[in-house]
Structures are given as C-alpha cells and as structure tokens.
Structure 1
Amino acid sequence: MRSGTTIGVLLDQWKGKVPGFNAMRFIAASAVLFSHSFGAGENRQHDEWIRQLTGKFELGTLGVYVFFFISGFVITQSCLRSNARSFLIKRIARIMPGLVLVTAFSALVLGPLLTTLPLRDYFHDPKFSKFFLNCLFVLTGELPGLFVGNPSGDWVNVSLWTLRFEVMCYLVVLVTILLLKKSSPLAIAVLALGLVALGYPTCMTAAIEPIAYLRSSLSIKIDITYLFVDGMSVVPFFFVGSLFYFARDRIQVNLLWFTGSIVAMIVIILYAQIYPLFPFALGYAILCLAFYDNAMYGKFSRNDYSYGIYVFAFPMQQTVVTFFPSGMTWWANALLAYPLTLGLAALSWHFVEHPCLRLGSRISGRLKVPLNS
C-alpha cells in the first residue's frame, strides 16, 4: 500500500487490473458458505458469529457486500472500455454459463439421485420444469422430493437471489453511460448517494408505502415491496463501487485513511442512524486491501473460482445434510461441503466458465468502440 497514491495511478501501474480482487472474491464466496452452514446444518442462522457480534448482518451478507462493491467498480471499468454489444456479450459470458450449469446440475444430477419420489414422478412434476426459470433470474427454489426435511427447508439454492439485482445493476450502468456519456459520472454519483440516502429508515418507510399501494391498486402478483427491500440491501454497494471507479483519480490509498475506514465501519455498525454510510467505509477498505502488496494475490490471478463457489455452495450443503438425517453441526456441514463445492467450482471454471469467457472475449474484441466516446 503506497501512501498518497491514487487508485487511478495504481490501476495504470497494474495495467487496469486490481491485484487483490480475485482473492477477495474467493474469500467472500467462502464466507457465504461458512455463514450458511449455521442454517443448513442446524437451522440456527441467528447463532452465526458475525450476526451475534454486529447485530446487523452475517458473515455471508458481508461477503455479498464485497461482491457487489467489486462488481460495481469492475463493471463500470468494463463498460467504459466497451461498446454496448461488446459489454453485453462479456457480461452474458460471465454470469450465464455458471448459472445454467448449477441449475442443470441441481435438477438433472442431484434431483434424480436424492429425490424421495419415483423418477417418473420427479420428472413429471411441474416443479421440475419450473426450476429452470432460475436461468432467467426467476427464483424457483424447490425441486420435487429433494431436500425434504432438511433443517433449513427444501430450498435448493438460496444464493441465487442476488444475481437478478446484479444483472439489473449491469443494465443501469450500461444505459447511464450509453445515454449520458460524459455526464454519466455525475449521474452515478447522484444514484449512489440517492440509494444511500434511501437506506435511512425514515426514507425506506416513506418509499415502501407507495410501492405497496401500487402493488395493491394494480393487483401485481409479484411482491415488488419484498424485491425493493431485498434490492436495497445490496444495490447501494454496487453503485458506490461504480462511483469509486469514476472518482479513482481523486481517491488516495492512505494508511491513515484505511485505519479510519475500519474505525468508521465499527462506529457505523454501532449506530443505526448512520448505517447506510457503511458502503463507503467498506469500499475504501476493500480498495486499500486489494492494492496491498501481498504475495498471496498472485496465487489467485489465473483462476477465479469465486462464482462457482458462490452458486454451488448451498446445493452441496443441502446434499451433505441429507446423509445425516439426525442432524449435524454447522462446522461439520462447512467442513464436508467446502471441498465438494471447491471441486465443482474448479471444474466449472476450467471446463465451462473460462472457455465461455474466452469465447466472449474473442467476439467482443472485434467491437472496441468505447461507450463514452
């Protein structure tokens, strides 16, 4: 960490890459698995350590915050370097192959192997075909006869809920930069600050009431109030990450400010009135750590298993539980599920995700006109 150096200068030195992001995503995805083990193993999610310590969030939630901040930073950088078609191709190549793979694996491998129903009944049940709507970011959590009686219920993959919000954020950044071009930094700043302000309890309450009224008056079947509250828990981190990228030439990596950001996070957690400011303190700490001269980061530079860990973790945790019908501790669940998840994530990366990314890069490489030109 070189004190006084801006993020922009560091990015130039690293040829546009942030050395610690892959490692941090890996740790964040692993944190989600660890956190979910309390619910998957014993249905005691409220006993999770970070939840007990902060009273605000779990370790897995913190991992998701890290994911969204990093995504906001990286996606904005990618968007500014691409045209619309190239950007969309790269985003599809990154998020869809892993999602389709885990959905198919759950429905076509885990389901037939572990369902309590006869296979004919399993494949003819409407829940089976409906499950593939997950590939379109429509959450359908159950497969017929699968994970019935597990402590945390029969939901196959609780982690997929964040993906629809991430895709929505991609599109908002794309449209903002496409339409506003040189004014897009100001628009993103207004959006990020507006979302943070909306996180204050009084503002949230004021926003929820008209949304609930709109749903009731228009007879909307989808619970848009629930979607709004869910989205507001993670989306601000994305746009703060985006704002940090636009402000990269003004933000300095400074040991004193890094220490201050850690102290600020502790204070923010203690005082609910200022909790919406958490994305700024966390985001600054993430960037300082990501540019820290750490030899460990090099071990994560070639392969990115984080997405695979994130999407495969809960199905494997639920699978492990089925072999211990009398119950299991959280640590046993994490210990058994983690190597299985990591193995699937590695296979997914080497045989599906990375080849698709290379294909997407080849296609998008022919389209190099930046969006903000």
Structure 2
Amino acid sequence: MALTNQLAMNEVTNAADHRNNLTALRWFAACLVLYGHAFVFLGLPEPLFLQWVPMGQLGVYIFFAISGYLVAQSWQRDPSVPRFLAKRALRIFPGLLVCTLLSVLVLGPLLTTLDMATYWRNEHTLGYFTNLALYITYHLPGVFAQNKLPHAVNGSLWSLPVEFFMYLLLALLGLCAAWFQKTNSDDQTIQEPSKFSQGLTAMATVCLMGLTALWAWPSTDAWVFYRTDLRQIPLCGVYFMVGASLFQFKLNKYFSLSNVVLAVVLWLCLSREPQVFAMASWVVLPFVVLAFGLGCHTWLSRWHARDYSYGIYIYAFPVQQTWVSFWPQMPLWAYLLCTFVTTVALAALSWHFVERPSLKFKPFR
C-alpha cells in the first residue's frame, strides 16, 4: 500500500473500528518512555529528541495527542457524563489496581530492606493504595532505597491524574456546548450544532497554550495540588486539546504525506529558536502523530488486538527499578533487552486477563 494511503484517513470511523496504526503508535510511545527512563536508572544523561525534550517526555506527549482525538470522538458519539467517565475509568483503573496490588503485596515484601513486621506496620505501605484515587504515592518503605533513583517505585503514574483531569475538562466543555445549543435552539444565527463546541475546544486549547508559555515554562517551582504538579496540566494538556481540536474541526482530511512532510520541514526550520520550536510542536506533533496513527498499514493495523501500551507504561518503571537494583552495572543494551521483555510479558498478562475483560463492561447507550 502506498505511503500516502497509509497516512490518509477519509472516514472518521477508521478510528472506531481499529483498522489503523494507533495501537502500534501507542506501543511506540510506551517504549519511548521505557527507553528514556533506562538512562535515568543507570545514572546516564537521558537523550533528547531533536535537542528539545527527553525521549520519555516525548512518549507522554504522543499518548496525550492520541488520547485527545479519540476521547473527543468518544464524547461526540455518546455525550453522557456517567457513561463517558465509566468508559474512561474502565480503561485506567482495573490495570492500575492490579499493578498496585502487585507492588504492595509482591514487589515490596521481596525487595524491602525492612523486616516484614515493620514493612506492614509502616503507614506508607497502606498509603500506596491512594494511587487508586489518583492521589499519587511513589514509594514503598525500604524499597529501592539503594538505587540511583532511590525509593521511587512507579514514577510513571504522575501522568494519570493529569490525563483524567483532561477527561473531566473535555466533558465539561461538552456539557457547556450542549447547554448552549439547547437554550439557543431557536436562534437563527446558529448554523451548525457543533459550532459552539468547536469554539469552546479552540478557546480551551489557546488558554492551555498561553498557560504553558506564560506560566508552566517560566515557573521553576512545582505547584502541587492533590500530589500533582499543576504545571503538567498545560504542558501535557495542550497536546491533548490539539488532538481533540483536530477531531472537532474534522481536520483529518488534511492528513496526507505531503502535508506531513511540509509540517515537519517547517517545524525543523524553527529549530534554531528553541522556544518557537517547542510552541510549534503543540500543533505539529499531534498532526504528524494522528496522520500516521489514523492511517492503515497492513501489518501495523493488526496490532489492535494486542494493545499492551498501557501495561507497558505502568509496569516499565517498577520492572526497570527491580532489574537495576540487582544489576546496577548492567550494560545499557542488556538492560533495555531484559526490561523490555519482562515489561511486555507483564503488559500482555495485564491486557489479556485484566484490561480487555474489564472493557467488556463499558456502557453503551
């Protein structure tokens, strides 16, 4: 199949029936996070993508861009807040629950430097379960105390409350749009039901861009609420909202090879101005990611039945910390191989026995 056909997406329904490259692209994003973290755990400088962001952060941005598009699509199909949130919760919490249980009941007892009685009596052991309320706790008593990144059991969980906040924001925008359309149904100035929704999405996107440029970037101190650095909401949320905007404004018609090449070339031309380059990434990265992801490559599109990306994301951090705690001087290539194989095995078990069975309970109208 020609590359232009792989990138093109003529029907929005492509994203729904999974005949696209999105699952493979989520795999790629999860593996970028694993790859970037490997350097940190071994005490090496993490490589930057185009001298812009660390590889792990790039993977997170890709996740948010894809999520914004698909979640906006999900809301449009079924604009019910209870069903919308139930679908999102069923995607996040079953896998997180099992990962948390394994961390507390298996990983902790095996690797803690404390005796078992002290470990179980420690308030932080039970406190680790606050992760299930997205009130993120990163350490278990005595676990990974001697690692180069000490005490951190699962640092990747920081993005989950940010992601869920974006779900709530999108639902709020949808409710506001629905209310406006209902109260102005007789207003002849409204040409299309979706215009106000598009306007709200665009406004939210521009606001997040402004918050990123004027607050999140210049700020050197974390603004923590509910154990989440609030700066991450605009930093990651801007990619989510641009992804949502690409769906809302039906810009998939511009997903072609020529437009992708043009966007990337223009983006690279801005590389000498780091701040402008980063700002351009807000639009270029989601555009390129979704243009490729919503295309259909014969081999890549077959990955939809094995969506291990979430499992890779939530298991990679503790797996990598475990390997490096036993072999801190392991060569990078061997470390990447061992952690990748172990993580994918756990992610496969999570997908086939926890995540996919849970998705069968998704409510439909």
Q: Give the TM bin, normalised by the shorter chain.
A: 0.7 to 0.9
In structure 1, what is the equivalent of residue 164 of structure 2?
A: 167
Q: TM-score, normalised by structure 2?
A: 0.87
Deviation readout 1:202-240 (Å, 9 max, x if unpaired): x2279969x99xx8xxxxxx4689723222221100000
Query: Is 2:342 the counterpart of 1:340?
Result: yes
On the 8 A contact 2:154/2:314 being kept in 1, the answer is yes
Cα 1:335–1:61 shift into 2, 3 Å: same
Cα 1:6–1:36 shift into 2, 3 Å: closer
The separation in 1 between residues aligned to 2:138 and 2:270, in whole angstroms, is 34
Cα 1:77–1:293 shift into 2, 3 Å: closer
- Of the three residues 63, 67, 70, the one matched with 1:71 is 67
The separation in 1 between residues aligned to 2:227 and 2:127, in whole angstroms, is 23
The separation in 2 between residues aligned to 1:225 and 1:67, in whole angstroms, is 21
On the 8 A contact 2:99/2:314 being kept in 1, the answer is yes
Q: Equivalences for 1:89-108 in 2 at 5 Å?
A: 89-108=86-105
Query: Is 2:224 the counterpart of 1:236?
Result: no
Cα 1:291–1:36 shift into 2, 3 Å: same
Number of aligned residues = 344
1:43 partner SS: coil
Letter in 1 for 2:121: H
Unaligned runs of 5+ in 2: 179-193
Deviation at 1:99, TM superposition (A): 1.1
Deviation at 1:273, TM superposition (A): 3.3
Query: Is 2:254 the counterpart of 1:282?
Result: no
Deviation readout 1:299-343 (Å, 9 max, x if unpaired): 312121000000000100001112125x33333321111111101
The separation in 2 between residues aligned to 1:173 and 1:25, in whole angstroms, is 21
The separation in 2 between residues aligned to 1:193 and 1:18, in whole angstroms, is 32
- Of the three residues 201, 209, 215, the one matched with 1:204 is 215
Query: Is 2:314 the counterpart of 1:311?
Result: yes
On the 8 A contact 1:261/1:282 being kept in 2, the answer is no
Query: Is 2:308 the counterpart of 1:295?
Result: no
1:301 partner SS: helix
In structure 1, what is the equivalent of residue 324 of structure 2?
A: 321
Letter in 1 for 2:52: K
In structure 2, what is the equivalent of residue 29 of structure 1?
A: 30
In structure 2, what is the equivalent of residue 355 of structure 1?
A: 357
The separation in 1 between residues aligned to 2:175 and 2:206, in whole angstroms, is 21
- Of the three residues 192, 195, 198, the one matched with 2:205 is 192
Letter in 1 for 2:30: A
The alignment-based identity, stated in percent, is 31
Letter in 2 for 1:71: S
On the 8 A contact 1:305/1:342 being kept in 2, the answer is yes
Deviation at 1:95, TM superposition (A): 0.6
The separation in 1 between residues aligned to 2:93 and 2:114, in whole angstroms, is 30
Deviation at 1:31, TM superposition (A): 1.1
Cα 1:16–1:174 shift into 2, 3 Å: farther
Cα 1:297–1:135 shift into 2, 3 Å: same
Deviation at 1:266, TM superposition (A): 2.3
1:99 partner SS: helix
Cα 1:224–1:96 shift into 2, 3 Å: closer
Deviation at 1:129, TM superposition (A): 0.9
Cα 1:91–1:205 shift into 2, 3 Å: closer
On the 8 A contact 1:268/1:278 being kept in 2, the answer is no
Moved more, 98-107 or 346-355: 98-107
On the 8 A contact 2:154/2:317 being kept in 1, the answer is yes
Unaligned runs of 5+ in 1: 216-221, 369-373
The separation in 1 between residues aligned to 2:239 and 2:14, in whole angstroms, is 26
RMSD: 2.5
